Amino acid sequence: QGEKVIVYADTTSLVTITGNTGQVIRYGNLVTAAAGSISNTARGDSLTFVWRANGSEWNTIAAIGNWDL
């Protein structure tokens, strides 16, 4: 619990982050379905997640750019 992961899109290719079975990704007030995904829209986008084990959640605590759920 509390592990941080930083994702930075350094290329023009899309970056897609997918939760594992049973995990959700929270982005502000939006939440993916279990094993759902979030994708960037442009080079230079970044996300910082913190893991919450008791909720099986990756919580976004910082974001740059636009991300699609």
Q: Taking residues 41-66, report their average pLDDT.
A: 95
Structure tokens at 27: 């982005």
28-48: pLDDT as tens digits: 999 999 999 999 999 999 999
Structure tokens at 49: 């997640």
Instruction: For the full predicted model, state whether its pTM sits above 0.95.
Output: no
Beta pairing partners, 49: 5, 60
Contact between 32 and 23 under an 8 Å Cβ cutoff? The reply is no
Q: Cα separation of 18 and 7, whole Å?
A: 12
Angle made by CA atoms 5, 7, 8, in degrees to the nearest 5: 150
- Inform me whether the pLDDT recorded for 1 exceeds 80: no
Q: Taking residues 42-56, report their average pLDDT.
A: 94
